[in-house]
């Protein structure tokens, strides 16, 4: 895997590498207008115009705060959360998603929920938005590479959706499949993973109130580079478990194969709970660096078990969390 390195050896961007929201939003609008203009007379203008209006960057998304499930820690600035992330479908460097994800068309969009259920269901993004009251929850998110953020997400517990399809007695796990479209996602050409990106949870993890089906952040719809139009946020697990741009949710009887576990099983276990006592084979997980904090010599934070979400500990009673990492 290729990672852009800061001269001081940290996986941190220069401030100049993080594109301000107003700049990248304006740039994307300019590119879209230019593409539409170039298509006039060729019969493609109408399609380009529809796609331009389909993009919803910056659109407000009202939600009631859920204080009980939110941390009161200082939030990561929007420009950092939107400009420094992993979304390999749009490139391997941390800034690539913000630069490249403007190609993602988020409307129309449907998600199919199927498998070991009594009532399979297909919903478009508007149907998902209306399924349950939207909440804003401020969650910590910890990356396996050693950095973390605090982000106000907008969505509702995934259990609201899963209850609609009525899982049957064979449903033991939930598999999430994300979009894999080479026309929209230049990173698929890298071959770093076996696409499409697939993740999974045990059904009790998926049904836990903290597991968030997410359509927005910072009071607006998800930016493309953050997993638009719908993603998962599982705050007690490493960030790669929170699948982005989901197109299918399937309830299954056996533990599903997942993208990173298939690619590097020694490094990325199926459970991937934040556990400071289990090091990654190539680095310690005992501490983390909070993105967006000023100063190159800002001290690292101690990594907390389950990322500090102790309310999920009962899900793993009796499990060896070093073996089931």
Spell out the domain ranges in the chain.
60-316
User: Which pLDDT band holds residue 89 (cuts at 50, 70, 90)?
Assistant: very high
Phi, psi of 22 (to 5 degrees): -65, -30
Predicted confidence at residue 57, as pLDDT, reads: 67
Mean pLDDT (whole number) for 295-308:
88
**pLDDT over 90, % of the chain:** 79
pLDDT in tens, 155-177: 999 999 999 999 999 999 999 99
Q: Respond yes or no on whether the N-terminal peptide bond of residue 108 is cis (omega within 30° of 0).
A: yes
Q: What is the torsional sign of CA 231, 234, 237, 239?
A: positive
Mean pLDDT (whole number) for 87-112:
97
Predicted confidence at residue 296, as pLDDT, reads: 64
CATH superfamily label, 60-316: Oxidoreductase, molybdopterin-binding domain (3.90.420.10)
Predicted confidence at residue 298, as pLDDT, reads: 78
User: Which pLDDT band holds residue 43 (cuts at 50, 70, 90)?
Assistant: very low
Q: Are 305 and 276 in contact (CB under 8 A)?
A: yes
Predicted confidence at residue 246, as pLDDT, reads: 98
User: Which pLDDT band holds residue 22 (cuts at 50, 70, 90)?
Assistant: very low
As to burial, measured by CB atoms within 10 angstroms (0-12 exposed, 13-18 middle, 19+ buried), residue 3 is exposed
Alpha helices in the chain (DSSP H): 21-39, 45-54, 78-83, 96-100, 125-130, 159-165, 203-207, 259-263
- Please indicate, yes or no, whether the overall pTM of this predicted structure exceeds 0.85: no
Residue with the bigger pLDDT between 296 and 228: it is 228
- For the cut 90, the answer to whether the pLDDT of residue 313 exceeds it is yes
pLDDT in tens, 125-140: 999 999 999 999 999 9
Tokens of 32: 């879209």
SS3 52: helix
- Between the two ends of the chain, the Cα-to-Cα distance in Å is 21
Mean pLDDT (whole number) for 173-192:
96
Residue corresponding to tokens 């070093």 = 322
Residue with the bigger pLDDT between 44 and 141: it is 141
- Region of poorest pLDDT, from 33-37, 249-253, 273-277: 33-37
Q: What angle do CA 306, 230, 45 make, to 5 degrees?
A: 150
Please list, in sequence order, all residues whose beta carbon lies within 8 angstroms of the beta carbon of residue 305, skipping any fewer than 6 positions away: 274, 275, 276, 277, 313
Residue with the bigger pLDDT between 54 and 183: it is 183
Q: Are 150 and 138 in contact (CB under 8 A)?
A: yes
Predicted confidence at residue 295, as pLDDT, reads: 64
Q: What is the torsional sign of CA 316, 318, 324, 325?
A: positive
Q: Are 267 and 184 in contact (CB under 8 A)?
A: no
User: Which pLDDT band holds residue 56 (cuts at 50, 70, 90)?
Assistant: low
């Amino acid at each position: 895997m290729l990672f852009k390195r800061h001269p001081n050896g940290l996986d941190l961007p220069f401030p100049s590498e993080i594109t301000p929201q107003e700049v990248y939003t304006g740039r994307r609008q300019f590119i879209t207008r230019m593409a539409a203009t170039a298509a006039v007379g060729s019969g493609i203008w109408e399609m380009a115009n529809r796609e331009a209006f389909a993009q919803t960057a910056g659109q407000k998304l009202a939600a009631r705060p859920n204080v009980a499930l939110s941390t009161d820690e200082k939030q990561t600035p929007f420009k950092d959360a939107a400009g420094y992330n992993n979304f390999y479908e749009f490139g391997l460097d941390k800034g690539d998603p913000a630069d490249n994800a403007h190609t993602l068309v988020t409307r129309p969009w449907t998600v199919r929920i199927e498998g070991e259920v009594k009532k399979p269901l297909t919903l478009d993004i508007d149907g998902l938005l209306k399924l349950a009251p939207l909440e804003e929850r401020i969650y910590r998110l910890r990356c396996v590479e050693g950095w973390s953020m605090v982000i106000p997400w907008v969505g509702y517990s995934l259990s609201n959706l899963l209850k609609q399809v009525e899982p049957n007695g064979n449903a033991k796990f939930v598999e999430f499949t994300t979009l894999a479209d080479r026309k929209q996602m230049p990173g698929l050409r890298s071959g770093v993973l076996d696409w499409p990106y697939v993740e999974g949870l045990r059904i009790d993890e998926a049904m836990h109130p903290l597991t968030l089906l997410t359509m927005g952040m910072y009071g607006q719809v998800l930016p493309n580079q953050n997993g638009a139009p719908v993603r998962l946020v599982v705050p007690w697990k490493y960030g790669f478990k929170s699948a982005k741009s989901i197109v299918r949710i399937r309830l299954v009887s056996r533990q599903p194969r997942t993208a990173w576990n298939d690619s590097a099983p020694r490094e990325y276990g199926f459970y991937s709970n934040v556990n400071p006592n289990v090091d990654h084979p190539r680095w310690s997980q005992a501490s983390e660096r909070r993105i967006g904090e000023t100063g190159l010599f800002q001290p690292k934070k101690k990594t907390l078990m389950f990322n500090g979400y102790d309310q999920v500990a009962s899900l793993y009673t009796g499990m060896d969390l070093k073996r089931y990492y």
